[in-house]
A and B are shown apart, each in its own frame.
Chain A
Amino acid sequence: MIVFIPLYAAFRKVPVYETFLEGAKDGFDTAINIIPHLVGMMVAISMFRASGAMDMLSSLIRPLFDYFGVPSEVLPLGMLRPLTGAGSLAFTTELIKNYGPDSMIGRIASTIQGSTDTTLYVLTVYFGAVGIRRSRYALKVGLFSDLVGFVAAIVICLFVFG
């Protein structure tokens, strides 16, 4: 792709290097524009985790998991996943390390981590880059699909590996 695109364009008489620089300049501005958005979001998420608020919230939902016989160790991952990509990856690694990659917990954690993206990050970066402040229903849709993906990952794993 890195070779094909410039070759094709050169064939069509596009001044490739100048065009590259022109587009690249946009990339820099865009990345800089994202900084305030990302800082604002990451501060809130980092505080949320460090204060123990997330643990409190997850202990409220835990009984529901016990009731359905789902390993509740994966619950914090479900809450972490939409908020922070790096954080949830670290948590998944932790679970895999402690319970083994081929345990049910390890498999469910891997599936959850792999099946959705970090909603809040995507929203912040994509909308931040163009200066959208009113995101309308986008966040609701993202979080809803995370929830569905989370439940689906658990059900599918219990079904396939159970």
Chain B
Amino acid sequence: MVNWIWLFFIVASFVAAALTGRMEALTEAAFEGAKSGVTVSLGLISVMVFWLGLMRIAEDGGLLRKLAAAIQPIVRFLFPDVPKGHPALGYIMSNMSANILGLGNAATPMGIKAMQELQKLNPDKSTATPAMCTLLALNTSSITLVPTTLIAIRMTYSSAHPAEIVGTTLAATLVATAAAILADRWYRFRSGPPAWKDYGGKGDSPRVRTGRPKAASPQSGAGIGPAAAGDGHPAGGGKGEAVV
């Protein structure tokens, strides 16, 4: 689907620019976009390096496992296919709490780390698992308790009640999150258990699932062993691009 949206953006832009005579602006915008893509990624480096370093300490210290155990019931409901006590659960928990507290710059590294942990459970490294989709759904609708940026902006423009939108924002975000979880559940249910038995649940090691994805490319198939045995390096990180 991302392929189609991307293609649609580019083709629609071209057509619209041709109609409105903004061809030059279009080219300029393309390079502007490329530039800001790099800028944003570079900005992420400092945040990622710092938080992932800190989280590695938390992981080795056993904090993450404790955290995961504490919220087991909620997360088990949302992520039934992640084995009990798996480090991914700890990162998911950290990601969710950072989101709720509005710590956007901490939420992203935790979310990515959770993705990498989930990727270790993934038999087909280039296709998202249901657990990954759920994590993404939670993050795109991100529950936020206090939208600090907006309150600040409203104060700048001398609002009489800068914080009056906290309640409406919370209500809207809860509705959006509920919709995301429901939609995610529905798609999960509809797609059913994938052919390669993604719904392990009982096994506590990804190696239990030996069935290989039918559609897997040789590269991603071969990735199963080392990635499952790896101890915290970005599994398959960047390998997707190499195949493109």
Residues of A bordering B, CB below 8 Å: 1-2, 5-6, 8-9, 11-12, 14, 16, 19-36, 38-53, 56-57, 82, 86, 89, 92-93, 96-97, 100-102, 106-107, 110-119, 122-123, 125-127, 129-142, 144-146, 148-149, 152-153, 156-157, 160-161
Q: State in angstroms the CA–CA spacing of A46 and B30 once bound together.
A: 6
Which of these, B19, B58, B141, B169, contacts A9 with CB under 8 Å?
Answer: B58
Mark contacts of B104-148 with chain A using CB atoms, 8 A cut-off: 1 yes-contact digit, 0 otherwise: 000011011001101100000111100011011101111010010
Give the interface SS of chain B, mostly helix, strand, loop or mixed: helix
Is the Cβ of A92 less than 8 Å from the Cβ of B176? no
With A46-B33, A96-B154, A136-B191 known, 14 other A-B pairs at CB within 8 A are A27-B47, A27-B109, A31-B48, A42-B36, A45-B33, A51-B26, A101-B157, A101-B162, A130-B118, A132-B126, A135-B2, A138-B136, A148-B175, A153-B169
- Asked whether A110 and B61 contact (CB < 8 A) given A51-B16, A123-B2, the answer is no
Residues of B bordering A, CB below 8 Å: 1-2, 5-6, 9-10, 12-17, 19-20, 22, 25-26, 28-34, 36-38, 40-42, 44-45, 47-63, 108-109, 111-112, 115-116, 118-119, 125-128, 132-133, 135-137, 139-142, 144, 147, 149-150, 153-154, 157-162, 164-165, 167-173, 175-177, 179-180, 183-184, 187, 191, 232-241, 243-244
